[in-house]
Chains A and B, each alone.
Chain A
């Protein structure tokens, strides 16, 4: 287990302290940690557990239950490609194949240049404009292979 840096540990402790008096705070804390560090490091689990008086197993169980939380660093951009029915009806499978080929990776992996991590997602609520994807917090609709490539070109530089 990779230990937390002093800065990371301070961030986790601060997020725990800010939230611990709220009802049912664990998921809020995990959101805070992931927003701050980019992921929930395994070494953050005992720190959070101690702060909330929970067992490490309880915290680990929550981190691993939810698809959104991850225990490893990601690329500079996270691309979530919708795989659900509405997008399938509009060619999501072909777009997914194109995306994987273009980035040279499979789902849950990060491109060699560190720019993109590709994740599947099951519905972005953009079903009248399928197929859809979300890059970081930005939604894209009626995405074509050309749109995807343009996004990759732009995102590679930032």
Chain B
């Protein structure tokens, strides 16, 4: 019987040489006349083991990693097609502690299935949610999402069900469902992994959203930095159309839903929902003043659902397993699970999907294994470039929306970037302002001008020019940006800066370098 070998097509795995590994395995199998087939899957998200090759054995999938093309011959010599012993052997994939202890709901199929195969998707529980939704009323679907406690995973954490209900309640000839796939926060890649590893989950989630609120057209706004996700999404969309899961008669229900991917063009601000809508309309990505909310007046002036990839990709399991199944994970007002992303200077970076409530320390040390450099971890930035830097003294904080907010931090899209003790936090504060200056849409003054002044003030502090006076000025500027900006870019850029002023102030007092 033919043996299946999985080699990821995930962009990060490819960035470490997965394509060469797949080619080498295929060539070696042919040369040895081995009856084996290479399947390209997504990544399991154990990135220190990528490229991770899995062989399907009777007892389960057996992992080898990190595999280089030059390892392939020795893998065959060690009879890895039968799970043979080899220095790169990691044992049964599902038994690897990093993976075994996770609670993968949203990302359950990522790395497991062949990403754009409808048959594989359906064999792993796909399209059960949509089938159930088609048998429900629109109000019942929305109620289910409300009851699940799901909050927007893009960062704002707004209850998804409330957003959907608002759109459902608007009378309009045309409504839209849009997916914000402009995953621009450094340290985040869960959207990318989902779109590359299980794009049909996102497509199913958007289809359910369309049916729930009465929208017939959806758009995925994808950042141009994700060409692999673009390819996977379009392959999956074609497969879904051909199998009648999209189009004029979704699953024979008579319901209509179309979906299209649109590419962004390298503007971080377009991850802000109103800026994204402007960009989808083909305009400059300048933010809109709210109200009106996009749910009332969104894309092309019509009622529009705007949700993040992870949010929409979580909808199918909520419909398939029921709202209470999902709600029973988590803690307090943070229900369900969150795919956390461990990045930066960390030994075992990757995707960790767990129920809310895990401590930051567990994430950094039990999963991450400490820093990659082996030096002490000094700071972690949670929630992207607009998130606070958290010092080691606060690593016991629980990872949920309220607990992080309680220490002046935020969870955002769940990215965690680790820095060791060589980091210069004054430079990180400067970078926060510089990034805002580069990415500001220019619509409001506190953000457009404030960020540039912020870089200048920090340069003076670093340069030793009237330090105390300029520190006061910096604090004042942060307050102005925070209070006076129109959106989260200018309004939250002060968060990392203020956290550095609070927890790492000594770095502003370093001896000046000339």
Q: Do A62 and B283 touch (CB < 8 A)?
A: yes
| Residue of chain A at shortest CB distance from B281 | A24
Q: Which B residues, 235 to 286, have Cβ-Cβ distances below 8 Å to chain A?
A: 262-268, 279-286
Instruction: Tell me how many residues of B have a C-beta within 8 Å of chain A.
Output: 62
Q: Do A126 and B284 touch (CB < 8 A)?
A: no
Q: Residue B11 contacts which of A123, A126, A142 (CB distance < 8 angstroms)?
A: A126
Q: Which A residues, 119 to 158, have Cβ-Cβ distances below 8 Å to chain B?
A: 121-130, 132, 134, 137-142
Which residues of chain B come closer than 8 Å to A85, judged between CB atoms? 186-187, 344, 381, 385, 417, 428, 431
Q: Residue B282 contacts which of A25, A84, A127, A140 (CB distance < 8 angstroms)?
A: A25
B188 an interface residue at 8 Å Cβ cutoff? yes
Range for the number of chain A residues in contact with chain B: 35 or more
A31 an interface residue at 8 Å Cβ cutoff? yes
Q: Point out which of A25, A84, A125, A127 has the most chain B C-beta atoms below 10 A from its C-beta.
A: A125
Q: Do B14 and A139 touch (CB < 8 A)?
A: yes
CB distance from A61 to the nearest CB of B (A): 5
Q: Do B381 and A127 touch (CB < 8 A)?
A: no
- In the bound assembly, the distance between CA atoms of A121 and B296 in angstroms comes to 34
B 171-215 to A, binary, CB cutoff 8 A, 1 in contact else 0: 000000000000111111101100000000000000000000000
Q: Point out which of A23, A122, A127, A134 has the most chain B C-beta atoms below 10 A from its C-beta.
A: A127
Which residues of chain A come closer than 8 Å to B431, judged between CB atoms? 85, 88
- In the bound assembly, the distance between CA atoms of A62 and B428 in angstroms comes to 30
A72 an interface residue at 8 Å Cβ cutoff? no
Which residues of chain B come closer than 8 Å to A31, judged between CB atoms? 224, 263, 265
Q: Do B188 and A30 touch (CB < 8 A)?
A: no
Q: Residue B415 contacts which of A127, A130, A132 (CB distance < 8 angstroms)?
A: A127
B227 an interface residue at 8 Å Cβ cutoff? yes
Q: Which A residues, 94 to 139, have Cβ-Cβ distances below 8 Å to chain B?
A: 121-130, 132, 134, 137-139
CB distance from A15 to the nearest CB of B (A): 14
Given A24-B282, A89-B419; A129-B47 close (CB under 8 Å): yes
Which residues of chain B come closer than 8 Å to A66, judged between CB atoms? 264-267, 285
B501 an interface residue at 8 Å Cβ cutoff? no
B228 an interface residue at 8 Å Cβ cutoff? yes
CB distance from B279 to the nearest CB of A (A): 7
Q: Which B residues, 373 to 418, have Cβ-Cβ distances below 8 Å to chain A?
A: 381, 385, 415, 417-418
Q: Do B417 and A129 touch (CB < 8 A)?
A: no
CB distance from B320 to the nearest CB of A (A): 28
A44 an interface residue at 8 Å Cβ cutoff? no
Q: Do B284 and A129 touch (CB < 8 A)?
A: no
| Residue of chain A at shortest CB distance from B343 | A127
Q: Residue A90 contacts which of B11, B14, B286, B345 (CB distance < 8 angstroms)?
A: B345
Which residues of chain B come closer than 8 Å to A130, judged between CB atoms? 343-344
7 further interface pairs, Cβ-Cβ under 8 Å (given A67-B265, A86-B343, A128-B343): A27-B264, A89-B417, A90-B345, A121-B225, A126-B189, A128-B45, A141-B16
Interface on A for B, CB 8 Å cutoff?
23-28, 30-31, 61-62, 65-69, 80, 84-90, 121-130, 132, 134, 137-142
